[in-house]
Chains A and B, each alone.
Chain A
Amino acid sequence: MTPRRKRLLVVLGVLAGVGIAAGLVFRSLNENMMLFYDPTQVVAGEAPHERPFRIGGMVTKGSVARASGSLEIRFVVTDFKSSVPVTYTGVLPDLFGEGKGVVAHGRLTRDGVFAADEVLAKHDEKYMPPEVAKSLKGPPPSTT
C-alpha cells in the first residue's frame, strides 16, 4: 500500500467515524427533544399520542380538584380558546396555582386527558414560560 493510499484510508476512516458519531448525536437529540403544544393544538388532534410532549397554558380558575388525602390532582389547562384536562400524582411546585401559567410534561391518553409525569414552574412568580406567553398571545414576559 502506498503512503498516499494509506493516508486516504485514514482520512476516510476518520470521516466515517465522525459521520457515525454525528448521526448518533443527532439521533439522541431528536429522541430527547420534547415538542411543545398548546391546548388548541391538542384539542385539534395535532399532538401525538405515542410519544410524550409538553403542554402549556393557564390553569383554569376553579378547576383544581383533589381527592381528599390523596396525591392525585386534576386541573384544566387553557389558552382561553381550548382546554385540556390534566392529571398528575405527586408534589406540585411552589408556584403552581389557579390562574397561573404552567408547563406539564407527559402523555396524552386515548380519552383526551393529559397524564402529566412532571409539572414545571420556574424560579420567578413573574416568569411565564415563553411558549405559554406566545400561545396566550399576551404581552411578552417582563425581563426586569
Chain B
Amino acid sequence: MIPELGHFALILALCLALAQSVFGLAGAYTRRTEWMSVARPAVAGQFVFVALAFGCLTASFLGNDFSVRYVALNSNSALPTFYRVAAVWGAHEGSLMLWILVLSIWSIAVAALSRSLPDTFIARVLGVLGLISTGFLTFTLATSNPFLRLLPPAMDGNDLNPLLQDFALAVHPPILYTGYVGFAVAFSFACAAMLEGRLDQAWARWTRPWTIVAWMFLTIGIALGSWWAYYELGWGGWWFWDPVENASFMPWLAGTALIHSLAVTEKRNLFRSWTLLLAIFAFSLSLLGTFLVRSGVLISVHSFASDPARGVFILAFLTLCIGGALTLFAWRAPKLGSSAGFELGSRESFLLFNNALLVIAASLILLGTLYPLFMDGLDLGKISVGPPYFRAVFLVPMLPLLALLGVGMHSTWKRARLAELKRPLLLGLAGAFALALVVVLIAYGRVTILALVGLTAGLWIIFSALRVPVSRLLSRQGLPASVLGMSIAHFGVGIFTIGVAGVEAYKIEKDVALRPGQSVQIAGYDFAFRGVHDVAGPNYNAIEGEFDVTRKGALVRVLRPQKRVYRVQTMPMTEAAITVGWTRDLFVALGDQLGGDAWSVRIQYKPLIRYIWLGAVFMALGGLTAASDRRYRPVRVTDTLPAKDATARDTP
C-alpha cells in the first residue's frame, strides 16, 4: 500500500510541476496576475507530494518491504537502521528521488524568500524551476520508478553495497545534490532575466546569495567524497581524477567562476552576458554530472544499450535544457552587453583572469572525461585518459590563478591602484618563500619544486587573505560579512594548497609482507605487526590486524585495520586504520594472507593531508559568511528596482 501511495504522490507532484511551469511562464508572458499567483501554491503542493513520495520510499526501506524491487536490491533486514535510510539514495532510482526532493526544497525556499522581487520575474524563475522538475519527474516515472513491485517478493534483500555503508558516503549524496541542484536556482534566475530582457545589478544581488550557498554545499559534498575515497577505498589517495569525481568537480569550477563573475556584475554592471553563460554552464555540468554518475554512462558506455530508454531520455533532456538555454542566450544576450571599461590591474581584470583560468581548467577536464566516450562511440579504440593528463591540464591554469589571487584580493574596482601595495605584497611573498623554505628543510629535509612552490603560494595567499580584514579593522573601516567571507574562503584556498603540496611532495607509500612480530620503519615511525584475530560486525565478519606504531620508542597509537567480508554480498572489503594528526596521517591497510601467517600490508605516511579537507571547510565557511551579508537580506522593494546602489559600492 505504502509504495502505491508514494507512486501516486509522485504523479500528483508531476501534475503540479506542470502547472507551476505553465502558469508561471505563460502568466508572466501575458502578465496575468491570477495565473502567476498559481506558481507559488503549486511549488508548495509539489513539495508536499514529493516529500510524501520520498517518505513512502524511506518507510519501505525502514519496514524491510522486500516486495519493492528497489528495496530488495539495495537493502537487507540485517542492515543497521541508519544505513537503511541512506540506502534510499544508494542507487540510481532513489538518487533521482533525492534530486527531486532537493529541487523542491530549493524551489520552496525561492518561493518563500522572494516576496520582494517583481512578480513577473519570480513567476518566470518558478516556471523554469517547474520545467526542470517536470523533466526529472517524468524521467523517474517513465524509466526509473523506485516503487515497482517484485513478484514474488524477495525473502530478504540484496543488501546495500558495503562501500556505501559508511557515514561520509551516507551524507555525501544529499549534500552534493544540494549543491548541484542549487545551481538550478542560478540557472532559473538567468533564464528569467533573459526572458524578462532585463539584467541589472539588482538581479546580480538577488542571484548571488543563492549561488554562493549552492557552491558552499557543493564544496562540502566534494570534500566528503574525497575524504571517503581516502579512508574507505583502501588506497589512501585523496583524488583519482576518476570520471565520477570529475563529474562533480566541473560544476564546482564553473560555479566558482560564476560567483566571482556575479561580483563584477553586481558591483560594476559588467560581464553580464558572461555571467548568464556561466550560470547556464554550471547547471548544465551539474546535470551532466548527475546523469553520468548514476546512470553509469561514463563507467560503461554500454549501459546505454542495456536500457536504451534511459539513455535516450537523458540525452533528450540534456539537449532540451542546455540547448534551450543557449538558444535563449543567443537570442537575448546581445541586448544585455555591457559597455563600461576598466584598467588592467583593476579588480575587474583580476576577476576576468580568474574566470578565464577556471573555465579553461573545467573545459580541459571535460575534454579528458568525455574523450574516451567519443573515441569509443566512433569506434576508434578503447582508451582511458590517465591522471597525468588531468594533473597537467589542471596545474597549468591553477598556478597562475594562485599567483593572481594573492595580488587580486587587494585590487580596487575600475582603476589599478596596486603601486602603493607593491611593498607589502612583495614582503608577504618573500616572507612566504622564506617560511616555506624553512619548513621544507627542517621538517622534511628535502627540497622539491612542488613543495616549495606550493607552500609559498599557500602561505602567501594566507597572508594576503589575513591582510584584508586586519587592515580594515585597524583603519576602522568596518568589516562587512561579504569581505570577511571572501577572506575566509581564500584563506581556505591557501590551506588547501599547502595540504596538496605537502602530501604530493612527501607522501610515502609502501607495500610490504609482514609476519607477526616483524616490523617496518617509515618516515621515522616503526610499525610492528602483532598478528590477526577474528571479529564479527552486525552484517559482516572481519579479520582484524594489530599494529603498534611507535616513534623513538614511544607508542603513538595501536592501529587495527580490518579485512571485512559482508555476509549477504560476500564482498571482501578493506577497512584501513588511520591515525590522524596536524602534521601527518599514518595509514595501514591489510591486504591478503600470503601463505603461512604472513600478510601483505600497505603502509602510508601522508604529511599535511588533513589540510586538504580543512581548506575545503574554510572555503565553505567563507561562502556561508559572505551569503549572510546584510545587503542580501530580503527587503520589501516596490516596482522600481534599485539599479544603482550607492551604499554597496565600496564593498567587493
Pick the contact of A28 from B163, B299, B393, B573 — CB < 8 Å? B393
**Is A91's CB under 8 angstroms from B592's CB?**
yes
| Assembly CA distance A127 to B244 (angstroms) | 15
Q: A133 at interface (Cβ–Cβ under 8 A)?
A: yes
Q: B371 at interface (Cβ–Cβ under 8 A)?
A: yes
Q: Give B595-611 as 1s and 0s: 1 = Cβ < 8 Å from A's Cβ atoms.
A: 11010111000000000
Closest beta carbon of chain A to B593's beta carbon, Å = 10
- Interface 9-residue window, one of A8-16, A64-72, A79-87, A108-116: A64-72
**Is A29's CB under 8 angstroms from B367's CB?**
yes
**Is A35's CB under 8 angstroms from B381's CB?**
yes
**Is A90's CB under 8 angstroms from B163's CB?**
no
Complex contacts, B513 vs chain A, CB 8 Å: 69-71
What is the predominant secondary structure among interface residues of chain A facing chain B? Answer: loop
Q: Give B66-88 as 1s and 0s: 1 = Cβ < 8 Å from A's Cβ atoms.
A: 00000001000000000000000
Considering residues B163, B300, B385, which has the most beta carbons from chain A within 10 angstroms of its beta carbon?
B300
Closest to A69 in B: B598
| Assembly CA distance A28 to B386 (angstroms) | 10
Closest beta carbon of chain A to B240's beta carbon, Å = 11
Q: B305 at interface (Cβ–Cβ under 8 A)?
A: yes
Q: Give A8-43 as 1s and 0s: 1 = Cβ < 8 Å from B's Cβ atoms.
A: 000000000000000001001101111110000000
Complex contacts, A71 vs chain B, CB 8 Å: 511-513, 594, 600
Interface residues on A, range: 35 or more
Those of B547-586 within 8 Å (CB) of chain A: 569-574
| Assembly CA distance A92 to B387 (angstroms) | 20
| Assembly CA distance A133 to B163 (angstroms) | 23
Q: Give B496-517 as 1s and 0s: 1 = Cβ < 8 Å from A's Cβ atoms.
A: 0000000000000001110100
**Is A133's CB under 8 angstroms from B393's CB?**
no
Closest beta carbon of chain A to B353's beta carbon, Å = 15
Complex contacts, B91 vs chain A, CB 8 Å: 144
Q: A141 at interface (Cβ–Cβ under 8 A)?
A: yes
**Is B598's CB under 8 angstroms from A124's CB?**
no
**Is B306's CB under 8 angstroms from A143's CB?**
yes
Closest beta carbon of chain B to A91's beta carbon, Å = 4
Q: A98 at interface (Cβ–Cβ under 8 A)?
A: no
**Is B234's CB under 8 angstroms from A141's CB?**
no
Pick the contact of A94 from B383, B573, B598 — CB < 8 Å? B573
Q: B166 at interface (Cβ–Cβ under 8 A)?
A: no
Work out how many contacts link A and B, with CB atoms closer than 8 A: 119
Closest beta carbon of chain B to A70's beta carbon, Å = 6
**Is A36's CB under 8 angstroms from B382's CB?**
yes
Closest beta carbon of chain A to B163's beta carbon, Å = 5
**Is B571's CB under 8 angstroms from A32's CB?**
no
Q: A123 at interface (Cβ–Cβ under 8 A)?
A: yes
Complex contacts, B572 vs chain A, CB 8 Å: 94-95
**Is B296's CB under 8 angstroms from A29's CB?**
no
| Assembly CA distance A31 to B385 (angstroms) | 9
Complex contacts, B388 vs chain A, CB 8 Å: 28, 31-32
Q: B44 at interface (Cβ–Cβ under 8 A)?
A: no
Q: A2 at interface (Cβ–Cβ under 8 A)?
A: no
Closest beta carbon of chain B to A132's beta carbon, Å = 10
Q: Give B509-537 as 1s and 0s: 1 = Cβ < 8 Å from A's Cβ atoms.
A: 00111010000000000000000000000
Complex contacts, A54 vs chain B, CB 8 Å: 384
Pick the contact of B299 from A25, A70, A93, A122 — CB < 8 Å? A122
Q: A48 at interface (Cβ–Cβ under 8 A)?
A: no
**Is B381's CB under 8 angstroms from A143's CB?**
no
9 closest Cβ pairs, A-B complex: A91-B591, A32-B389, A68-B595, A130-B300, A36-B382, A90-B511, A69-B598, A32-B386, A143-B303
Q: Which residues of A contact B (CB under 8 A)?
A: 25, 28-29, 31-36, 54, 66, 68-71, 89-95, 122-125, 127, 129-131, 133-134, 140-144
Q: Which residues of B contact A (CB under 8 A)?
A: 73, 91-92, 161, 163, 234, 295-296, 299-303, 305-307, 364, 367-368, 371, 381-389, 392-393, 511-513, 515, 569-574, 589, 591-592, 594-596, 598, 600-602
Q: Apart from A36-B382, A68-B596, what are 14 other A-B pairs with CB-CB below 8 Å?
A: A29-B368, A31-B388, A32-B385, A68-B594, A69-B595, A70-B513, A71-B594, A91-B602, A94-B234, A95-B572, A124-B161, A125-B570, A130-B299, A140-B300
